[in-house]
């Protein structure tokens, strides 16, 4: 099935409509079940359109479609227009594909929740903003989407708004993102002041021309002469990307963001929104390539984050937090991949990063959602130490999560294996090139391999802990934030001797069961979408290595810097590196899994002994390197003290001035009061003096004028 | 004879009001209550007839401007007079609605009304007189707007004021009312003496009481070394004296006491009628020097303006009596309107702004006083913030009217007060009086405090037990209508604005005058002798039978050979 490319214009508006429907549903209780189908169908329609148009995109891309004029002030015009090239399509596939499956899952997962309609309204709005973000033809529109997804993230992290931790997490996410967004906005302003346009098409063309000059003339970037600003732009944009994608130093909001409902963690904080930073850099790759330092720094930050987050993930006990740190770590890989690019070769496109983005979306969403299933059946229990041997109770979930874990660990021939390997190969290739940053890339290659090992280990630590060993579990206290309604209804159901009567109390029945024992979750509503995700997580890599959809797509998109004619020996060498890296990363994944199996399945006491031997390190890792505490001491507390000081200043000086301003007219009035004593003589005198005064002054001044 | 009839031909509105006043007195003397009660309807009919007569007498303004203030030759009313008369009729009808019930409250009238027939003593009833004086005062305003002569102007101004003294004294059975009337009368007489003195100096300086002649002499003097000190002093004294009518510094002292003492409906009358007369008179007096207002006069107006609005607003802040608050607000608004007079030279947009503003202010203030007049505390008028507290809970309609009124007084869009301020402030800015506008803006902010205090008392206060709402439909209708019109004019005020600018700026295209209009002050330096040497813009075309032309021919003898630049420069230095 193929559709006209033009239809792509509709993709954002369908979820927008669904968001409005969801908003209306929030108000009418009778309609609240309508919100979920509206949301799912609108995203599914977007997915179908994306698939329908994708074959037409590679021909004469990029194409720009204008929806309407958005801002028009004299010469400055910003259109609501969409930039479509294969990169857009890849992103849309991820967003709408994973989005549909997650929304489908959520329709079962969120059942019985008081904010059911609100949830789907926010998810629809998120999809609207996210599609705008990836389809935007100009930086302003992109920023609109960027802030829109930030808003939805805030709304959904704080979804359980009467839970203080959720509210705090929502604020943290929002504020940390604002720091990045500030720089992003500055980057946009600077882009406009330099290129006199914010249109991506034009900015990319100009940047491409500059690159071509650079490449042909061998002219150094700092010789660009009048344009030092061009060199600064990537750094500003980069900071925005780091904030949104939770990279060092702006990563700390993402683990806390797990306070939101699990489908949100899967969709927004694993598969889509957090990859916006990677998308931004990939999209603006020609701009980033203008500065010789920008991309190496991106790669270095990515590598550091990958290793850093992976070490923290080793010692966490909360399932969702482990996955959150793993997300940060995998995003670090993507940044490494997008940073391991150079106009001078040997890597000239961000294929690795986008490929990993694509596969990661599937397996990480799968992992989060299976974690959600575990949580769902254990009534909110997330602590690894309090569950064990669940595979008998939840066979499907255990297999699905195993698939996700294999992909994340990079087990050979799963999707994660191929994409991670591509990034590692790119980095190593860069390390062997004559780039001035070759040493950096070599180190990053080692970091990448080490992270791969850690990833395999902590992933399977989790899986073995949860699903193998003796069957033990401790139920959670609440319905994974399944708020009071479900909870109370559960109690009510309990009293009624397990006699749910209508569909409305079906959730109550589930809630009752929660308190008894774990169970497999609903197949159609929750496990079926996961099976699709699992197919993606397993097969996406094989499919890609057969068809090269992403490879070809990226080569006709803006994440491609140009063809470097490769000699046969180069190509052969590249192939060798590729193969070597596959071998190394594959075997290291297997070693990691085996080690995890030994310590956490076969011989758990040994694992505990090791942990005790390194108790100091474990403690540091368990406390996430004390970064939150450090933040508190270095940033939050001084700011708070400053705020206190300013408050005193404000209340004394500023308020004083304001009070004074308010007091002055009153004081003036008071001083004039004696003139209004109510006595006729006084008034008459006042008038007479007034008239006399006028005359005297005027005549005197006339005299003065006459004398001159 | 011909002259006389022509003059009278232009005075049909005034005549109809006068006849109405006589009929009111006659009706007021009737022995039966029902006939006496006809006085108010008669007054309404008289106003309506006056309105029709004005419209019938109005014709497309073709001929007259500055030189010929309000000349009404051939029965054609001057545009300024026309605008003022229509405004007086319109606002007068609203005032009549508000004031219609006043005699019902006067004790002697009540007694006579309730003891039908038995022993009717015409000396005890006030109803007829009240409406007669009401109409007479309005007649005075109309005459002011048509004045072409100083004597006429003086008499017209006094005709405006004298009836109001009586209205203040008789319309309320309280000793404060009498006190207010006495103060008002004496201080008014003092002020009248001041501007009458000014008028005599004008006569002395020019040898004529005719405004056209005085204008031409002034023009001649301006072209030849500047105004004579006598003429200038005359102008200054006239302005200071007339300041009493508009309650501007230094003649503002009476306002608070008189407004407080008078019956609320009469206070509303005082806030609009004498003020309108005063501003029109000021426009006529300033018209003597045409587009080239002498510098000392500008200084005077500047200082009066700044002081008037500041004193009005800061004193208003301190009051707890709403009538006194509105009195100071009236002073402050006179200050704002003086802004338009400062900005008078050149395009005359300032005058138009004043004429528009005075109507807008009148509407808002009438609405506010009408609401106040609908309340009663312990058998007396409600005057305090405490009395209007919680009005919104008792009578949302009245509260809404009051809210609209104070918002318009603040200058909140989309009410007429906003539009008025915009015109005033822009006209002043166009003439470079930025500093004054800043002062005015600060003052508006200060004023907002006490206006909003009224609104907040009304909406958030605790209802006062002792206060009750009196059911006077006519007053309520009058107040509501005023507020609604204030809102409507704020939204679609275009026609009124146009009328106001037409009233002062009509004869664009008149060759002599248009040159005068477009000349910026700087051009004086170049000395446009040919223009100033043809000083009879109006006389030949408009009033062939008047004595004005004769005087005009004799008075200014332009001397084209005089070196123009130096004296002209000097005159602008003054």
Distance CA A388, CA A403 (A): 18
By Cβ distance, the residue of B194, B236, B317 closest to A665 is B317
Q: How open is the CA angle A148-A153-A155, to the nearest 5 degrees?
A: 95
B81 CB-side CA count, 13 A: 37
pLDDT (tens digit, 9 = 90+) per residue, A543-555?
888 888 888 888 8
Q: Hunting for tokens 């004074």 — which residue is that?
A: A660
CB burial of residue B375 (10 Å; 0-12, 13-18, 19+): buried
CB burial of residue B504 (10 Å; 0-12, 13-18, 19+): buried
Selected residue of A664, A665, A667, A707 to mutate for chain B interface (largest B Cβ count, 10 A): A665
pLDDT of res. B15: 93
Tokens, residue A431: 């390390």
Give me the helix-helix angle, A139-157 and A200-217, nearest 10°: 120
Tell me whether B298 touches chain A (CB under 8 Å): no
Question: Taking the domains of chain A in order of start, what are their residue ranges?
Answer: 5-478+517-622, 623-676, 679-708
Distance CA A120, CA A32 (A): 10
Tokens, residue B419: 């539009």
**CB < 8 Å to A665, chain B:** 313-314, 317, 446, 449
Length of chain A: 708
User: If pLDDT is split at 50, 70 and 90, which confidence band does A359 have?
Assistant: very high
Whether the predicted pLDDT of B4 surpasses 90: no
Question: Does residue B186 fall inside a structural domain?
Answer: no
Interchain contact, B311 vs A672, CB within 8 Å: yes
> Of A201 and B71, which is predicted with more confidence?
A201
Of A317-321, A326-330, A384-388, minimum mean pLDDT range:
A384-388
On whether the CB atoms of residues A389 and A468 are closer than 8 A, the answer is yes
Over residues A246-275, the mean pLDDT reads 87
Q: Which residues contact A546 (CB under 8 A, 6 or more apart)?
A: none
> Of B52 and B513, which is predicted with more confidence?
B52
Domain that holds residue B343: 293-501
Tell me whether A703 touches chain B (CB under 8 Å): no
Whether the predicted pLDDT of A264 surpasses 80: yes
Tokens, residue B156: 């017209």
Distance CA A266, CA A270 (A): 5
**CB < 8 Å to B316, chain A:** 669
Whether the predicted pLDDT of A461 surpasses 80: yes
Distance of residue A655 Cα from the nearest chain B Cα, in angstroms: 18
For A670, phi then psi, to 5°, come to -60, -45
By Cβ distance, the residue of B296, B313, B314 closest to A698 is B296
Interface of A with B in 616-675 (CB under 8 A): 665-666, 668-670, 672-673, 675
Whether the predicted pLDDT of B75 surpasses 60: no
pLDDT of res. B2: 60
pLDDT of res. A507: 46
Of A173-187, A430-444, A646-660, B507-521, minimum mean pLDDT range:
B507-521
Over residues A175-181, the mean pLDDT reads 89
Tell me whether A702 touches chain B (CB under 8 Å): yes
> What percent of chain B is predicted at pLDDT more than 70?
82
Largest CA distance in chain B: 82
User: If pLDDT is split at 50, 70 and 90, which confidence band does A217 have?
Assistant: low
Largest CA distance in chain A: 115
**CB < 8 Å to B249, chain A:** 690
Question: Does residue B431 fall inside a structural domain?
Answer: yes
Selected residue of A676, A686, A707 to mutate for chain B interface (largest B Cβ count, 10 A): A676
Share the mean pLDDT of chain B: 81
What are the angstrom distances between the C-alpha of A325 and each of A165, A321, A451, B502?
18, 6, 12, 77
pLDDT of res. A563: 60
On whether the CB atoms of residues B29 and B128 are closer than 8 A, the answer is yes
Question: Does residue B57 fall inside a structural domain?
Answer: no
List of E strands, A419-530: 472-473
Helix and strand totals (H; E) in chain A: 29, 4
Over residues A180-202, the mean pLDDT reads 88
User: If pLDDT is split at 50, 70 and 90, which confidence band does A481 have?
Assistant: very low
pLDDT of res. B511: 28
User: If pLDDT is split at 50, 70 and 90, which confidence band does A566 have?
Assistant: low
Whether the predicted pLDDT of B438 surpasses 60: yes
Interchain contact, A699 vs B183, CB within 8 Å: no
pLDDT of res. B274: 95
pLDDT of res. A568: 59
Q: Of A219, A246, A348, A346, give the one whose Cα is nearest residue A288.
A: A348
Tell me whether A699 touches chain B (CB under 8 Å): yes
> Of A393 and A459, which is predicted with more confidence?
A459
Whether the predicted pLDDT of B260 surpasses 90: yes
What is the count of residue pairs from A and B with beta carbons less than 8 Å apart?
86
Distance CA A452, CA B541 (A): 103
On whether the CB atoms of residues A406 and A540 are closer than 8 A, the answer is no
User: If pLDDT is split at 50, 70 and 90, which confidence band does B516 have?
Assistant: very low
Tokens, residue A159: 């979804």
Whether the predicted pLDDT of B66 surpasses 70: no
Whether the predicted pLDDT of A271 surpasses 90: no
Interchain contact, A702 vs B229, CB within 8 Å: yes
**CB < 8 Å to A672, chain B:** 311, 314-315
Distance CA A408, CA A362 (A): 10
On whether the CB atoms of residues A368 and A270 are closer than 8 A, the answer is yes
pLDDT of res. A303: 93
Distance CA A416, CA A200 (A): 31
User: If pLDDT is split at 50, 70 and 90, which confidence band does B48 have?
Assistant: very high
Q: Are strands A472-473 and B380-381 parallel, antiparallel or unpaired?
A: unpaired
Whether the predicted pLDDT of B546 surpasses 70: no
Distance CA B565, CA A282 (A): 75
Whether the predicted pLDDT of A373 surpasses 70: yes
Question: Does residue B44 fall inside a structural domain?
Answer: no
Distance CA B250, CA A687 (A): 5
Q: Of B240, B238, B214, give the one whose Cα is nearest residue B154.
A: B238
By Cβ distance, the residue of B254, B296, B446 closest to A665 is B446
Is this model's pTM higher than 0.90 or not? no
Interchain contact, B190 vs A688, CB within 8 Å: yes
CB burial of residue A281 (10 Å; 0-12, 13-18, 19+): buried
pLDDT of res. B119: 66
Distance CA B574, CA B571 (A): 5
Interchain contact, A699 vs B237, CB within 8 Å: no
Interchain contact, A687 vs B229, CB within 8 Å: no
Quickly count: other Cβ atoms within 10 Å of residue A73's Cβ. Answer: 7
Distance of residue B390 Cα from the nearest chain A Cα, in angstroms: 26
Q: Hunting for tokens 């009061």 — which residue is that?
A: A673
Question: Does residue B315 fall inside a structural domain?
Answer: yes
Q: Which residues contact B74 (CB under 8 A, 6 or more apart)?
A: B6, B9
By Cβ distance, the residue of B232, B250, B315 closest to A687 is B250
On whether the CB atoms of residues B54 and B17 are closer than 8 A, the answer is no
On whether the CB atoms of residues A230 and A224 are closer than 8 A, the answer is yes
Interchain contact, B186 vs A705, CB within 8 Å: no
Distance CA B36, CA A22 (A): 70
pLDDT (tens digit, 9 = 90+) per residue, B105-138?
888 888 877 776 666 777 778 888 999 999 999 9
For A411, phi then psi, to 5°, come to -65, 140
What are the angstrom distances between the C-alpha of B21 and each of B18, B74, B105, B129, B287?
5, 26, 21, 8, 32
pLDDT (tens digit, 9 = 90+) per residue, B330-374?
999 999 999 888 876 555 778 888 999 999 999 999 999 999 999
Distance CA B487, CA A75 (A): 38
For A111, phi then psi, to 5°, come to -55, 140
Of A116-120, A439-443, B2-6, B485-489, minimum mean pLDDT range:
B2-6
Whether the predicted pLDDT of B316 surpasses 80: yes
On whether the CB atoms of residues B369 and B405 are closer than 8 A, the answer is no
Distance of residue A657 Cα from the nearest chain B Cα, in angstroms: 16
Question: Does residue B393 fall inside a structural domain?
Answer: yes
Question: Does residue B158 fall inside a structural domain?
Answer: no
pLDDT of res. A482: 44
pLDDT (tens digit, 9 = 90+) per residue, A462-476?
898 888 888 888 877
For B169, phi then psi, to 5°, come to -70, -40
pLDDT of res. B337: 93
Whether the predicted pLDDT of A317 surpasses 90: no
Tell me whether A696 touches chain B (CB under 8 Å): no
Question: Does residue B457 fall inside a structural domain?
Answer: yes
pLDDT (tens digit, 9 = 90+) per residue, A589-633?
899 988 888 888 887 787 788 878 888 888 888 787 888 888 888
> What percent of chain A is predicted at pLDDT more than 90?
24
Tokens, residue B50: 């006056």
Whether the predicted pLDDT of A7 surpasses 90: no
User: If pLDDT is split at 50, 70 and 90, which confidence band does B174 have?
Assistant: confident
Interchain contact, B314 vs A668, CB within 8 Å: yes
List of E strands, A418-520: 472-473
pLDDT of res. B528: 37
Distance of residue A707 Cα from the nearest chain B Cα, in angstroms: 12
Of A70-74, B1-5, B355-359, B505-509, minimum mean pLDDT range:
B505-509
pLDDT of res. A391: 83
Selected residue of A670, A674, A688, A690 to mutate for chain B interface (largest B Cβ count, 10 A): A690
Whether the predicted pLDDT of A487 surpasses 60: no
List of E strands, A451-599: 472-473
Tell me whether B50 touches chain A (CB under 8 Å): no
Over residues A11-16, the mean pLDDT reads 91
Tokens, residue A643: 């705020």
Look at chain B and report how many structural domains it folds into. Answer: 1
Backbone φ/ψ region at B401: left (φ over 0), alpha (ψ -120 to 50), beta: alpha
pLDDT (tens digit, 9 = 90+) per residue, B265-283?
999 999 999 999 999 999 9
> What percent of chain B is predicted at pLDDT more than 90?
49
Whether the predicted pLDDT of B566 surpasses 50: no
- Determine the residue of chain A that is closest to B298 in CA distance: A698
pLDDT (tens digit, 9 = 90+) per residue, A231-244?
788 899 999 999 99
Distance CA A119, CA A40 (A): 12
By Cβ distance, the residue of B191, B232, B299 closest to A687 is B191
Tell me whether B235 touches chain A (CB under 8 Å): no
Quickly count: other Cβ atoms within 10 Å of residue B150's Cβ. Answer: 25
pLDDT of res. B116: 64
Quickly count: other Cβ atoms within 10 Å of residue A161's Cβ. Answer: 13
Over residues A325-349, the mean pLDDT reads 86
Whether the predicted pLDDT of A273 surpasses 60: yes
Burial letters for A356-393: b for 16+ Cβ neighbours within 10 Å, e otherwise? bbbbbbbbbbbbbbbbbbbbbbbbebbebeebbbbbeb
- Determine the residue of chain B that is closest to A684 in CA distance: B187
Q: Which residues contact A662 (CB under 8 A, 6 or more apart)?
A: none
Give me the helix-helix angle, A276-283 and A319-339, nearest 10°: 10
**CB < 8 Å to A678, chain B:** 257
Q: Of A349, A324, A365, give the one whose Cα is nearest residue A423.
A: A349
Of A99-108, A339-348, B218-227, minimum mean pLDDT range:
A339-348
Tell me whether A502 touches chain B (CB under 8 Å): no
The DSSP 8-state label assigned to residue B154 in this structure reads H
Selected residue of B185, B252, B253 to mutate for chain A interface (largest A Cβ count, 10 A): B253
């Amino acid at each position: 099935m193929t559709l006209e490319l033009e239809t792509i214009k509709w993709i954002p508006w369908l979820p927008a409509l669904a968001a409005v429907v969801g908003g209306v549903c929030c108000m009418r209780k009778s309609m609240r079940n309508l919100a979920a189908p509206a949301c799912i169908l609108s995203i599914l329609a977007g997915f179908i359109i994306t698939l329908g148009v994708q074959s037409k995109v590679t021909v004469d891309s990029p194409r720009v479609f204008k929806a309407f004029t958005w801002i028009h002030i004299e010469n400055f015009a910003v259109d609501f227009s969409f930039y479509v090239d294969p990169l857009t399509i890849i992103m849309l596939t991820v967003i709408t594909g994973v989005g549909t499956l997650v929304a489908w899952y959520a329709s079962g997962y969120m059942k019985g929740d008081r904010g059911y309609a609100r949830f789907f309204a926010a998810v629809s709005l998120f999809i609207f903003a996210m599609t705008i973000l990836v389809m935007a033809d100009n930086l302003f529109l992109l920023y609109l989407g960027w802030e829109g997804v930030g808003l939805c993230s805030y709304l959904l992290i704080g979804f359980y708004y009467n839970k203080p931790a959720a509210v705090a997490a929502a604020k943290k996410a929002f504020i940390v993102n604002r720091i990045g967004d500030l720089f992003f906005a500055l980057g946009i302003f600077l882009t406009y002041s330099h290129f006199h346009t914010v249109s991506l098409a034009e900015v990319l063309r100009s940047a491409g021309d500059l690159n071509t000059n650079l490449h042909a003339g061998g002219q150094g970037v700092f010789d660009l002469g009048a344009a030092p600003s061009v060199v600064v732009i990537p750094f500003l944009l980069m900071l925005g990307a780091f904030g949104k994608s939770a990279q060092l130093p702006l990563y700390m909001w993402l683990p806390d963001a797990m306070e939101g409902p699990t489908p949100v963690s899967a969709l927004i904080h694993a598969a889509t929104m957090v990859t916006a930073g990677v998308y931004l850099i990939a999209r603006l790759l020609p701009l980033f390539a203008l500065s010789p330092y920008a991309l190496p720094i991106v790669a270095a930050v990515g590598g550091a984050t990958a290793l850093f987050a992976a070490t923290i993930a080793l010692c966490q006990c909360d399932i969702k937090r482990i996955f959150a740190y793993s997300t940060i770590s995998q995003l670090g890989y993507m940044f490494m991949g997008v940073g391991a690019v150079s106009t001078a070769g040997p890597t000239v496109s961000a294929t690795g990063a986008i490929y990993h983005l694509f596969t990661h979306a599937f397996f990480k969403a799968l992992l989060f959602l299976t974690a959600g299933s575990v949580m769902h059946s254990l009534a909110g229990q997330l602590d690894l130490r309090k569950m064990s041997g669940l595979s008998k109770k939840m066979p499907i979930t255990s297999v699905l999560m195993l698939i996700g874990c294999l992909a994340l660990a990079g087990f050979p021939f799963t999707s994660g294996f191929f994409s991670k390997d591509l990034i590692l190969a790119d980095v190593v290739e860069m390390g062997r090139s004559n780039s001035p940053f070759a040493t950096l890339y070599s180190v990053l290659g080692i970091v990448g391999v080490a992270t791969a090992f850690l990833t395999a280990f902590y992933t399977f630590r989790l899986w073995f802990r949860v699903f193998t060993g003796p069957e033990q579990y401790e139920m959670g206290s609440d319905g994974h934030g399944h708020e009071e309604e479900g909870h109370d209804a559960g109690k009510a159901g309990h009293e009624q001797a397990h006699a749910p009567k209508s569909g409305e109390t079906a959730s109550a029945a589930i809630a009752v069961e929660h308190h008894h024992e774990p169970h497999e979750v609903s197949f159609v509503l929750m496990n079926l979408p996961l099976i699709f995700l699992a197919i993606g997580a397993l097969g996406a890599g094989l499919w890609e290595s057969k068809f090269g959809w992403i490879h070809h797509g990226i080569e006709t998109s803006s994440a491609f810097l140009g063809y470097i004619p490769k000699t046969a020996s180069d190509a052969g060498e590249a192939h060798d590196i590729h193969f070597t890296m596959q071998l190394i990363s594959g075997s290291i994944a297997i070693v990691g899994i085996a080690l995890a199996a030994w310590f956490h399945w076969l011989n758990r006491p040994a694992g505990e002994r090791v942990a005790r031997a390194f108790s100091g390190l474990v403690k540091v890792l368990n406390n996430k390197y004390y970064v939150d505490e450090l933040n508190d001491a270095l940033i939050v507390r001084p700011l708070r003290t400053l705020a206190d000081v300013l408050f005193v200043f404000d209340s004394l000086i500023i308020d004083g001035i304001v009070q004074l301003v308010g007091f002055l007219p009153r004081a003036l009035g008071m001083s004039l009061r004696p003139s209004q004593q109510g006595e006729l003589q006084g008034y008459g005198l006042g008038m007479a003096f007034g008239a006399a005064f006028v005359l005297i002054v005027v005549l005197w001044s006339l005299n003065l004028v006459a004398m001159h | 004879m011909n002259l006389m009839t022509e003059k009278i031909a232009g005075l049909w509105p005034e005549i109809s009001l006068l006849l109405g006043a006589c009929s009111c007195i006659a009706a007021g003397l009737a022995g039966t209550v029902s006939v006496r009660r006809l006085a108010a309807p008669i007054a309404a009919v008289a106003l309506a007839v006056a309105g029709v007569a004005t419209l019938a007498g109005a014709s497309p303004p073709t001929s007259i401007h500055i030189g010929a203030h309000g000349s009404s030759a051939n029965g054609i009313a001057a545009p300024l007079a026309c605008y003022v008369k229509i405004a007086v009729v319109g606002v007068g009808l609203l005032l009549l609605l508000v004031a219609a019930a006043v005699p019902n409250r006067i004790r002697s009238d009540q007694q006579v009304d309730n003891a039908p027939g038995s022993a009717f003593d015409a000396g005890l009833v006030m109803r007829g007189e009240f409406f007669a004086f009401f109409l007479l005062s309005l007649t005075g305003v109309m005459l002011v707007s048509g004045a072409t002569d100083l004597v006429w102007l003086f008499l017209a101004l006094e005709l405006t004021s004298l009836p109001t003294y009586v209205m203040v004294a008789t319309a309320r059975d309280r000793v404060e009312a009498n006190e207010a009337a006495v103060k008002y009368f004496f201080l008014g007489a003092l002020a009248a003496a001041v501007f009458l003195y000014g008028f005599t100096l004008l006569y002395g300086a020019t040898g004529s009481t005719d405004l056209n002649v005085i204008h031409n002499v002034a023009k001649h003097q301006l072209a030849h070394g500047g105004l004579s000190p006598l003429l200038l002093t005359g102008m200054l004294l006239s302005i200071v004296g007339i300041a009493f009518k508009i309650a501007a510094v230094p003649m503002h002292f009476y306002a608070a006491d008189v407004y407080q003492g008078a019956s609320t409906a009469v206070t509303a009358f005082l806030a609009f009628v004498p003020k309108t007369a005063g501003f029109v008179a000021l426009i006529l007096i300033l018209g003597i020097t045409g587009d080239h207002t002498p510098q000392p006069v500008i200084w005077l107006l500047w200082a009066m303006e700044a002081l008037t609005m500041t004193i009005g607003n800061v004193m208003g802040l301190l009051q707890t009596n709403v009538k006194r608050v509105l009195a100071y607000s009236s002073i402050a608004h006179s200050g704002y309107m003086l802004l338009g007079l400062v900005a008078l030279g050149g395009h005359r947009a300032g005058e138009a702004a004043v004429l528009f503003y005075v109507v807008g202010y009148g509407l808002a203030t009438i609405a506010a006083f009408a609401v106040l007049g609908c309340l009663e505390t312990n058998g007396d008028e409600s005057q305090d913030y405490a009395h209007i507290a919680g009005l919104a809970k008792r009578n949302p309609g009245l509260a809404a009217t009051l809210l609209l009124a104070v918002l318009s007084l603040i200058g909140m869009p989309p009410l007429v007060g906003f539009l008025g301020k915009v015109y005033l402030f822009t006209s002043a800015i166009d003439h470079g009086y930025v500093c004054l506008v800043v002062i005015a803006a600060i003052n508006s902010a200060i004023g907002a405090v006490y206006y909003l205090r009224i609104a907040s008392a009304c909406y958030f206060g605790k209802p006062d037990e002792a206060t009750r709402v009196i059911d006077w439909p006519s007053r309520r209708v009058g107040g509501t209508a005023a507020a609604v019109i204030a809102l409507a004019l704020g939204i679609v005020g275009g026609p009124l604005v146009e009328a106001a600018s037409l009233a002062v700026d009509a004869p664009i295209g008149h060759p002599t005058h248009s040159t005068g209009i477009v000349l910026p002050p700087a051009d004086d330096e170049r000395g446009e002798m040919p223009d100033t040497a043809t000083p009879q813009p109006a006389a030949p075309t408009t009033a062939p039978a008047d004595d004005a032309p004769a005087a005009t021919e004799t008075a200014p003898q332009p001397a084209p050979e005089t070196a123009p630049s130096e004296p002209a420069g000097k005159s602008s230095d003054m």
